[in-house]
Amino acid sequence: MIATLMKAKVTVMPKQSVLDPQGVAVRGALEHLGLSALGTVRVGKLIEIQFDDPGPGSIEAIEQRLHAACHELLSNPVIEDYRLEIER
Amino acid sequence: MNVAVVRFPGSNCDQDCVHALRAMGADADYLWHKEESLGAVDAVVLPGGFSYGDYLRCGAIARFSPVMRAVGEFAAEGGMVLGICNGFQILCEAGLLPGALVRNRDLHFICEFIRVRVERGDTPFTSRCDVGQVIEVPIAHGEGNYRADEATLREIGEHGQVLLRYCDADGAMTEAANPNGSIGNIAGICNRARNVFGLMPHPERAMEPRMGSADGSLLLGSLLDALALR
């Protein structure tokens, strides 16, 4: 039995190897605010997906489909990494 | 020569493309992105704009439009596909071209005439140009910073897939002449089979001297020449 309320959280971050101009700009602004000894600052995004009714199928099957969606849509593997968390 | 210019919600260079292609003698017409078939076309253009408001990533959602399956099949069969600006981003997101386009180095949206050097003249998209020719065309984008991993860069280099690079008036690929931070000053690439081409500059906005430059007609003209030979 799958819980009726399930939430998936996808964190998408620019790959370490890809220059993140937004992160660089935010870092500069943080220094302006007086924060010092800053390392790298990176800006990513958080996507929350709520399931009202996950429907039939195991959590594992849904998780697998979510991974596929992360790979094809929610992140671009050329420039980004993602992390998928499922809250039940 | 039938050329379909795909309209996504948020496309805004579709009319310019249709006008430019018609002015050059092609039978260009609009194709709504919900269409599942391209019909009898000789080439497809994905125009510039902000498809789906650039939500998630530029081109990330447009790539799932129904028409894109047909575009993919058309490209696989050797059909000519040209992606301009947002169209280039969509082609990368769809995996029809390698790499990705990220935020400009200096974060600004840049709308200005720039120069690019033509790297090859033996493709259907550049045949009217000489190798090393410097052409002037405008760019208008916030995410035109071309990125790819080292293996991909090596591969597109080995197969001569880089067709345009940002350069100065003398054709030198300097950092100062690179408007957006693209790796290797890359402004336009094609696939290995050379029937899919994506570029950030807008050839359709440089079609006659009174527009500031007529160099864009070299690129669109090359495409129409190639279609005429088929």
Q: What residue ranges do the domains of chain A occupy?
A: 6-31+41-87
Residues 6+ apart with CB under 8 A from A11: A44, A45, A46, A47, A82, A83, A85
pLDDT tens-digit readout, B73-125: 999 999 999 999 999 999 999 999 999 999 999 999 999 999 999 999 999 99
Q: What is the CATH number of the domain that holds B91?
A: 3.40.50.880
**Domain of B82, in residue numbers:** 2-229
Catalytic residue among B85, B92, B129, B167: B85
Domains contained in chain B, number: 1
pLDDT for the residue numbered A54: 63
The bridge status of strand B27-32 relative to strand B2-7 is parallel
A28 CB neighbours in chain B (<8 A) are none
- Say how many Å lie between the first and final Cα of chain B, rounded: 10
Rounded to whole angstroms, the Cα distance separating B48 from B58 reads: 11
- Of B142 and A18, the one with more pLDDT: B142
Rounded to whole angstroms, the Cα distance separating B39 from B21 reads: 18
Nearest chain A residue to B152, by CA: A78
CB nearest B104 (choices: A17, A21, A78): A21
DSSP per residue, B197-221:
EEESS-GGG-SBGGGTB-THHHHHH
pLDDT tens-digit readout, B173-197: 999 999 999 999 999 999 999 999 9
Model ipTM value: 0.84
The reply to whether B189 touches chain A by the CB within 8 Å rule is no
Q: Beta-carbon neighbour count of residue A63 at 10 Å? A: 13
Nearest chain A residue to B105, by CA: A21
Q: Superfamily for A6-31+41-87?
A: Phosphoribosylformylglycinamidine synthase subunit PurS (3.30.1280.10)
B7: tokens are 């309209």
Rounded to whole angstroms, the Cα distance separating A19 from B92 reads: 18
What is the distance, to the nearest Å, from the Cα of residue B121 to the centroid of all Cα atoms in its chain?
Answer: 16
CB-based contact A22 B103, cutoff 8 Å = yes
